[in-house]
Copies of this chain bind each other. A is one copy, B any other.
Amino acid sequence: MIGVAIVGFGYWGPNLARCFAETDGCQVAVIADSSADARARAAKRFPAARLVADWREAVASPGVDAVVIATPVRSHYDIAYAALRAGRHVLVEKPMTETADQAEMLIEEAAQRDRVLMVDHTFVYAPAVRAIQRLLDSGDLGDLWYYDSTRINLGLFQRDVNVIWDLAVHDLSILQLLLGRAPIGVSATGMSHVKGSPENMAQITLHFDQAVAHLNVNWLAPVKVRRVMIGGSRKMIVYDELEASEKVKVYDRGVLLGDQPQDVYQMLVGYRSGDMWAPHLSAAEPLLVEAAHFIDCIANGTAPITGGELGLGVVRTLEAATRSMRLRGHPVDLATMRLAS
């Protein structure tokens, strides 16, 4: 039985605690939060867990094999580093760390001590994203030409990170999963409408070798949208997370290329318009799938899907996008982190 400590019982911590409580092979042994209110709420819902105020006590607790970190980003590195040094496995909420340097040090520490280091990029475990991955890997989509995401709603403004770190982070992890690599360049723009607050809306373009990704994120939108369009050379996808039933729609649409000039207005581009198809998706809760995967990686010593390298790639991109945004879109080269000439 793997003992789990949950560090942070604010917005997301209770969800992680619930999922690990429902997962076989582990138990929620300790819950840590500096707020007495949060500890009281935790005690009511998880009467068997030990409650502590200081995360250091949770990390050091006998019977704790794994530490699950759901605190603000600025504390991720310190807690994860201490947990790894104490020989604990670590699951850390996204984004992994505040800087790519910190992420690299965690990866190194986990490797030296042979511990599992996993990042809570929940969407990677969503049945819809898995279905898209299968469509891409099977060749049904053809080459991935573009990924265009709109992820907007009203709130919640955060004080320690801008909207890219909060919302675009989801798309960055999905893109790493689908493409197996980080982008080579980024251009981003953004704006803050609340004095003293980080940017609350942003637009990001990511350049990959063959593909391009557009991300539109916003905390100040009149309606909630979670929609991704994916263009492949053979098929196209609309993935709408808010649809009740058909979250993933696959369109047999595209262009047919010829080689003769047609008329003065248009290219000789034909259009293919065929059937639409929405695969049935499992109703599994992504966070439960993820919790079971983490426990499984610990038990069997396997590498997690959203391990430290994927988390590092995301943080690197977040840093580069924030830098480009402060320069009003100036392209940043991700390999060198230099401004593109």
Q: In the bound complex, how far is the Cα of B145 from the Cα of A195, in angstroms? A: 13
CB-based nearest B residue for A72: B264
Asked whether A146 is an interface residue with its Cβ less than 8 Å from the other chain, the reply is yes
- Given contacts A145-B220, A236-B221, whether A205 and B207 have CB atoms under 8 Å apart is no
Residues of B within 8 A of A216 (CB): 148, 214, 216
**Secondary structure class of chain A's binding surface, majority of residues:** strand
Q: In the bound complex, how far is the Cα of B264 from the Cα of A160, in angstroms? A: 8
Residues of B within 8 A of A263 (CB): 10
Q: Mark A252-282, 1 if CB is under 8 A from B, else 0.
A: 1111010001011111010101111111100
Which chain A residues numbered 75 to 127 have a C-beta less than 8 Å away from chain B?
none
Residues of A whose CB lies within 8 Å of any CB of B are: 10-11, 47, 72, 145-146, 148, 150, 152, 154-160, 185, 187-189, 191, 193-195, 197, 201, 203, 205, 207, 212, 214, 216, 218, 220-224, 229, 231, 233, 236-238, 242, 244-246, 249, 251-255, 257, 261, 263-267, 269, 271, 273-280, 324, 327-331, 340
A189 and B218 form a contact (CB under 8 A) = no
Residues of B within 8 A of A238 (CB): 222-223
Q: In the bound complex, how far is the Cα of B261 from the Cα of A160, in angstroms? A: 12
- Given contacts A222-B238, A253-B154, A269-B157, whether A277 and B280 have CB atoms under 8 Å apart is no
Residues of B within 8 A of A155 (CB): 255, 269, 271
- Given contacts A242-B244, A329-B187, A329-B324, whether A154 and B221 have CB atoms under 8 Å apart is no
Tell me which of B191, B257, B264, B279 contacts A194 (CB under 8 A).
B257
A-B contact pairs, 15 of them (CB 8 A): A145-B220, A154-B254, A155-B269, A157-B267, A160-B265, A187-B329, A189-B207, A194-B267, A197-B267, A201-B231, A203-B205, A205-B328, A222-B236, A277-B278, A328-B331
Q: In the bound complex, how far is the Cα of B216 from the Cα of A248, in angstroms? A: 21
Tell me which of B224, B257, B271, B330 contacts A329 (CB under 8 A).
B330
